[in-house]
């Protein structure tokens, strides 16, 4: 009798432990799934030391863009709604610095992210397939995304020094100026204007191998067409034409890499159309620069000679990131030692 009771108790205990183990497995599996890293596809932009473009910008009459003296990586695609939603779920449970714009759920032209719950427990979900570019992001939003990537994509649910406020940029709660420059050891950052320009327009095979620049980021000097049904053809882009959106579809934004044969020389997509991209140039009234044109604009906005700025936030602006590999430890030491020697030299000069 006691044996039967003990056996039942043992089986009951084993069953309970099995249930607990199963629930624990499900929990940790869900946590692991929630913490899947954001994968950023990158295109390598080589040919360091290329000559600058001597074409004159028709807006401000400046010239000399596109020369970059080092090899770097740039996002093959714009940052997507899915990637930005992962960022929001990782850090914006309270959303201290306004990373989420409610128009992402209500603007039918570009809607793609919904905020759920109350402040302190916000969660975010993708509307649609999530492969279209994110819009309604400020330059500071993009900088905080870069900080988060550089800091290892931590899932802390807060915006602080470990996630969004330091890293590639030292922001420390800035929500208005957006005039920060990237830090010395930044690895993930908003492209410089020259980096963006080179990735979009430069082609080292032009001019009999001497290198040169295309007029459009689709490796063409002829304005791209905009037919959704012919999107596999070369020199196609998503833009506004004859009072309509993209010909052949009722959508406004298109998924990244929809125009499969319209990449730049370095393999980047949609630097013409879909959404324009923030860069790090500081323009009139301390506004940041924008390049590339969007779904709402005409092909003239995609030309290499078009340099402009934008409203702080709109449904036509998105961003892509740039990346340089982490420097070797010896390189970091040389930088530190060099800075120390420079400071020491300055002290000696002052003492003398």
Q: What would the DSSP string read from start to end of 14-33?
A: HHHHHHHHHHHHHHHHHHHH
Residue 203, SS3 per DSSP: strand
pLDDT in tens, 51-97: 999 988 877 889 999 999 999 999 999 999 999 999 999 999 999 99
pLDDT band at 250 (very low <50, low <70, confident <90, very high): low
Task: Summarize the confidence of residues 47-54 as an average pLDDT.
Answer: 97
pLDDT band at 48 (very low <50, low <70, confident <90, very high): very high
Containing 208, the helix (H) or strand (E) segment is helix 206-209
Containing 78, the helix (H) or strand (E) segment is none
Percent of the chain with pLDDT over 70: 80
- Report the distance separating Cα 273 and Cα 296, nearest Å: 8
CB 50 within 8 A of CB 65: no
Task: Answer with the residue of higher pLDDT: 327 or 86.
Answer: 86
CB 270 within 8 A of CB 238: yes
Query: Residue 37: what pLDDT?
Result: 78
CB 33 within 8 A of CB 67: no
pLDDT band at 246 (very low <50, low <70, confident <90, very high): confident
Query: Residue 36: what pLDDT?
Result: 63
Residue 280, SS3 per DSSP: strand
Query: 109-114, long-range: CB within 8 Å, 24+ apart, which pairs?
Result: 109/252, 109/253, 109/315, 110/135, 110/136, 110/252, 110/253, 110/315, 112/81, 112/253, 113/81, 113/84, 113/85, 113/88
- Report the distance separating Cα 227 and Cα 304, nearest Å: 22
Task: Summarize the confidence of residues 183-208 as an average pLDDT.
Answer: 97
Task: Summarize the confidence of residues 227-251 as an average pLDDT.
Answer: 80
Query: Residue 311: what pLDDT?
Result: 72
pLDDT band at 244 (very low <50, low <70, confident <90, very high): low
Task: Summarize the confidence of residues 25-39 as an average pLDDT.
Answer: 51
CB 119 within 8 A of CB 92: no
Task: Answer with the residue of higher pLDDT: 349 or 36.
Answer: 36
- Report the distance separating Cα 22 and Cα 28, nearest Å: 10
First to last CA, the chain: 99
Please check the confidence at residue 17 and state whether its pLDDT lies above 60: no
Please check the confidence at residue 348 and state whether its pLDDT lies above 80: no
Residue 199, SS3 per DSSP: helix
pLDDT in tens, 145-162: 999 999 999 999 999 999
Please check the confidence at residue 342 and state whether its pLDDT lies above 50: no
Query: Residue 90: what pLDDT?
Result: 98
Task: Answer with the residue of higher pLDDT: 20 or 104.
Answer: 104
Task: Answer with the residue of higher pLDDT: 144 or 336.
Answer: 144
pLDDT in tens, 114-149: 999 999 999 999 999 999 999 999 999 999 999 999
Query: Residue 60: what pLDDT?
Result: 81
Task: Answer with the residue of higher pLDDT: 57 or 172.
Answer: 172
Which residue, 111, 120, 119, 117, is CA-closest to 84?
Answer: 111
CB 249 within 8 A of CB 228: yes
Which residue, 325, 339, 323, 349, is CA-closest to 40?
Answer: 323
Please check the confidence at residue 178 and state whether its pLDDT lies above 50: yes
Tokens of 123: 């969660």
Average pLDDT, the chain: 85
Please check the confidence at residue 242 and state whether its pLDDT lies above 70: no
Tokens of 345: 């030299």
- Report the distance separating Cα 74 and Cα 50, nearest Å: 17
User: Please, which residues bridge with residue 247 across strands?
Assistant: 227
């Amino acid at each position: 009798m006691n044996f039967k009771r003990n056996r039942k108790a043992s089986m009951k205990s084993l069953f309970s432990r099995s249930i607990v183990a199963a629930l624990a497995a499900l929990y940790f599996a869900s946590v692991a799934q929630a913490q899947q890293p954001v994968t950023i596809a990158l295109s390598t932009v080589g040919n360091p030391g290329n000559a600058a473009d001597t074409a004159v910008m028709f807006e401000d009459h400046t010239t000399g863009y596109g020369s970059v003296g080092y090899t770097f990586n740039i996002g093959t695609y714009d940052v997507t709604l899915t990637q930005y939603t992962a960022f929001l779920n990782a850090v914006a449970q309270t959303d201290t610095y306004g990373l989420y714009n409610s128009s992402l759920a209500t603007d039918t032209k570009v809607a793609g992210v919904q905020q759920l719950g109350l402040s302190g427990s916000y969660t975010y979900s993708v509307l649609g397939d999530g492969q279209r570019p994110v819009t309604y992001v400020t330059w500071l939003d993009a900088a905080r995304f870069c900080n988060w990537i550089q800091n290892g994509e931590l899932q802390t649910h807060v915006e602080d020094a470990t996630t969004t406020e330091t890293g590639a940029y030292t922001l420390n709660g800035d929500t208005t100026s957006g005039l920060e420059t990237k830090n010395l050891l930044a690895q993930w950052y908003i492209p410089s204007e020259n980096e963006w320009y080179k990735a979009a327009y430069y082609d080292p095979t032009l001019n009999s191998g001497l290198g040169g620049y295309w007029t459009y980021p689709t490796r063409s000097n002829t304005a791209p067409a905009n037919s959704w049904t012919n999107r596999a053809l070369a020199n196609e882009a998503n833009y506004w034409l004859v009072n309509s959106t993209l010909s052949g579809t009722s959508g406004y934004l298109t998924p990244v890499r929809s125009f499969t044969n319209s990449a730049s020389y370095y393999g980047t997509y949609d630097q013409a159309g879909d959404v324009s991209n923030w860069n790090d140039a500081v323009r009139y009234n301390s506004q940041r620069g924008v390049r590339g044109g969007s779904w709402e604009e005409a092909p003239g906005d995609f030309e290499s000679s078009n340099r402009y700025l934008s409203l702080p936030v709109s449904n036509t602006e998105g961003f892509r990131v740039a990346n340089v590999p982490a420097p070797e430890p010896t390189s970091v030491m040389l930088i530190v030692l060099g800075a120390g020697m420079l400071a020491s030299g300055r002290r000696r000069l002052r003492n003398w």
